Structure 1
Amino acid sequence: MYFRDPAELPGPLPTSEEISNAPKSGLSPRRHVWGEGGGMCIVRGIYVVKCDINLTQNKGNALLFIEKHLKIPVPRLYAMYHDPSSGLLHLVMEYIPGVDLESLCSSLAVEVKP
């Protein structure tokens, strides 16, 4: 798996308990649910943790590749590991506050929509 050097982290990595107890708000409405298949949450206002039954290491590796080779702004990946209790892959990423595209989409002009 992958763990960034602790000196490069904004704080200690979240524990399994913090992840399972983290509020699932502040994300797009379809991501509020943390079900058996996984979910997404914000921990301590500095990390986004994503885990999903369909999540693969490809997403984490893509974030690392983009950070190293391209000048495209993406959240930094801080850790990628399988949680022993759930068996799900966890991606611990940088939390970047803002408004997600999904919630803005209805107010955008047709010419600027993706």
Structure 2
Amino acid sequence: MDSYTPITLPYFAPDHLLPAPLPTLNQVLSSTDYVVAPPGRFSKQFAVVRVGSHFLAKYGPDVHRLEGENMIFVSQQTRVPVPRVYAIYGYAGDATMIIMEYIEGVTLHNCLETLGPEELKYIGKKLRAQLNELRQIPAPDYYGALGRRPIIDFYKCRHHRPVFTHGDIHQMNVIVRPDGTPVLIDYESSGFYPAYRESLVASSIDRYLDFLDEKFMDEAHILSEALKAWTRARNEENCDHDCNHDCDHDFDHDLDYDYARSAAFQKSSGSPFMFT
């Protein structure tokens, strides 16, 4: 893995791999079939749109080539289902365009309440197998993204071996196909990290799917306490003590992932899947 060479931009998949002619920049930017409308999530500057029946495009200043590169890497190294990447290139100065395969299905967020125990068990079993296969990718001798890209100091520890990690598994980043197969999307945070990182990030949906082989409860407790301490310190720093409101906020709150994948993917009144 130390010899890994990042792809060269602009990247375009060979023509014989395209399901249809690749959409042009103008076709993408003029599409209003939004999956995520601008300005994006959490104040990030990006958008996600469908272009025709085959393509999904993610673009904007806060889109990183690494997301597309990670998906290409996973498709080369494993049999894990991942959106095919057809193009990665820069435009308008500091913006990045990633054109990929459109995955038919609904987000776990939009179908979770309609799924029965056996369906949840099926999805969890599939996700478990996918994560285990990702972890079998030969690991380098460092923690970080592909090509030894920079890494947050928090991960520079040696308590766990590095394994390839998706890094952002939550309900909006799991697409469930009509046959029940889960497909992980949004590989921007992926890389080689300590084995416990996936567990800490994905714990919010593991309680439904039970797909994590290792729970890393000690590390989860340490992180929880650290986040609570950080939140208290932040609130104390930002609070105006002349106000009448209480500054002792708790960290215990649910992340709000209430943003739609698209208008076509609203919550169904029954399970839309045919599990095999």
TM category, shorter: 0.7 to 0.9
How far apart, in 1, do the equivalents of 2:80 and 2:103 lie?
14
Gap runs ≥5 in structure 2: 1-8, 118-206, 212-276
**Per the alignment, in what secondary structure is the counterpart of residue 50 of structure 2?**
strand
How far apart, in 2, do the equivalents of 1:9 and 1:16 lie?
16
CA distance 1:52–1:105, shift in 2 (3 Å): farther
Bigger relative contact order (CA 8 A; separation at least 6): 1
After TM superposition, list the pairs within 5 Å mapping 1:36-51 onto structure 2: 37-51=45-59
Is 1:69 paired with 2:166? no
**Structure of greater Rg:** 2
Gap runs ≥5 in structure 1: none
**Per the alignment, in what secondary structure is the counterpart of residue 48 of structure 1?**
strand
8 Å CA contact retained: 2:33, 2:51: no
Q: Equivalent residue for 1:35?
A: 39
Shift of 1:5: 0.5
- Aligned Cα RMSD in Å? 2.2
**Per the alignment, in what secondary structure is the counterpart of residue 106 of structure 2?**
coil
8 Å CA contact retained: 2:46, 2:63: no
How far apart, in 2, do the equivalents of 1:45 and 1:23 lie?
14
Shift of 1:69: 0.5
8 Å CA contact retained: 1:24, 1:41: yes
Number of corresponding residues: 108
Is 1:5 paired with 2:14? yes
How far apart, in 2, do the equivalents of 1:113 and 1:105 lie?
14
Is 1:93 paired with 2:97? no
**Per the alignment, in what secondary structure is the counterpart of residue 64 of structure 1?**
helix
Identity %: 25
Q: Normalised by the size of structure 1, how large is the TM-score?
A: 0.80
Is 1:111 paired with 2:118? no
Shift of 1:86: 5.8
8 Å CA contact retained: 1:24, 1:34: no
Shift of 1:66: 0.5
Shift of 1:91: 0.6
How far apart, in 2, do the equivalents of 1:73 and 1:53 lie?
27
Query: Structure 1 stretches (4+) deviating beyond 6 angstroms?
Result: none
Q: Equivalent residue for 2:23?
A: 14
Q: Normalised by the size of structure 2, how large is the TM-score?
A: 0.36
